[in-house]
Amino acid sequence: MLHGGSMIKEGTRYLLVAPHLVLAPGIALMMVVLAVNLIGDQWRDYLDVRSRQSNR
């Protein structure tokens, strides 16, 4: 199983010749990290009892 980090590392050798080898997994990894961050923020807001009480 290939991981995003290893795909980026292997693609750095060919960065000047074929930049898509680094950009595609890099963008995919960035989108996964952003999605996990946004989901974590939503869960924190949903589960934080103190913030729900102060909004009322």
Burial of 13 per CB tally in 10 Å (0-12, 13-18, 19+) = exposed
Confidence of residue 53 (pLDDT cuts 50, 70, 90): low
pLDDT in tens, 6-43: 877 877 788 788 888 778 888 988 999 999 999 999 99
Q: pLDDT value at position 43? A: 94
The predicted model scores a pTM of 0.64
Which amino acid is located at 22 in the chain? V
Q: pLDDT value at position 4? A: 66
Q: pLDDT value at position 31? A: 95
